[in-house]
Amino acid sequence: MSFAYVGLIGSMSSVFGQQTVPLCQPPNAGEYLLLVVSPTADNQKQLRSALPPELKTINCKYLNETVTRIGGFNKIDDANRWARYVSNIVGLSAIITTRPTTPDVQPQQQAQLQQRQQTVYNPQALGEGYAVLVDYYNRPELVNSVQQVVGGNVGFVSYGQRPYLLAVYTTNQTEAYNTLQKLNNGGFVASIVDSRKVILLRSTVRL
């Protein structure tokens, strides 16, 4: 998933005393990052008390939401396991995102794909489940490549007021994580998010 970052992360020791929450740092190449939505100090304290001290955590802003960033996962299974733990024990929702080991990001000046999809569509929120999103960096030619990886049509959505390709929308968690892993292995910047926060613009993208 694409991140926008300004400035540097502040000290981890004064998370709760900060009035201004910094923007999140991106994951390292090949790293799986867990972002737990934790908007209140109580959420953050409860989460930290439920996690072992060896897990590095820091509070930061991601898509205008306050999250707890948990990094250091080299395998998607580990990130998945901790995401389930956080959901079951603490009751907070988590986002898993990653970054390909050999990214090739060359954003274009014009969002060609977004412009092409502004013709006829009926925006609507997706239902409960998991959405696997791909940041296409304003490169419409990635649509065909993503279709080949997922073996089907690709949608066009808005999440956090930004456009993404919708690789998969499903209520099956295993299917969502398997798709994320396939996309990551293919060199795409992808993430799993709560599908209820995703606005579907077009169910099928046609170039």
Domains contained in the chain, CATH given: 31-99 (3.30.70.1070), 124-202 (3.30.70)
Q: In the structure encoding, which two tokens stand for residue 198, read together?
A: 């995703």
Q: Are 149 and 188 in contact (CB under 8 A)?
A: yes
State the pLDDT at residue 122: 52
State the pLDDT at residue 115: 40
Distance CA 127, CA 195 (A): 6
Distance CA 66, CA 57 (A): 13
State the pLDDT at residue 207: 59
State the pLDDT at residue 11: 33
Please provide the distance, in angstroms rounded to a whole number, between the alpha carbons at the two ends of the chain.
Answer: 22
Give me the sign of the Cα torsion angle 134, 138, 139, 144: positive
State the pLDDT at residue 166: 93
State the pLDDT at residue 101: 52
Distance CA 5, CA 62 (A): 9
Please, what is the average pLDDT of the chain?
76
What stretches in the chain show pLDDT beneath 70? 1-19, 99-122, 206-207
State the pLDDT at residue 19: 53
CB-based burial of residue 141 (10 Å sphere; 0-12 exposed, 13-18 middle, 19+ buried)?
exposed
State the pLDDT at residue 114: 40
